[in-house]
Amino acid sequence: MKKILKFEAEWCGQCKALAPILKKVLENHTDITLTTVDIEIEEDTTLKYNIRNLPTLVFTKDGVEIGRTSGVLTANILEDKIKEFYA
């Protein structure tokens, strides 16, 4: 199972900027599930993944982390990362 965890916070401007890019790119990848994690609400998950920057995307396959990115990505870079991590 392919899953992307998006770590964000309500006050994070970059998180808001990444949201529509991520939504658009994932329209072409219906086999990937997106889970949004609010770092202020889900502190245990945030600590488990040692999140230090926002936004952070953690790419997992069958529950195992296979890669991560931080910051706002362009649609092309996000597409490249998906291909790289889920090849």
* Catalytic positions, written as ranges: 12, 15
State pLDDT tens for residues 21-63.
999 999 999 999 999 999 999 999 999 999 999 999 999 999 9
Percent of the chain scored above 90 by pLDDT? 99
Reported as a pLDDT band with limits 50, 70 and 90, residue 18 is very high
What is the rounded distance in angstroms from the CA atom of residue 75 to the CA atom of residue 77?
Answer: 6
DSSP E strands: which ranges in 39-83? 56-61, 64-70
Q: What is the pTM of this model?
A: 0.96
* Average per-residue pLDDT for the chain: 97
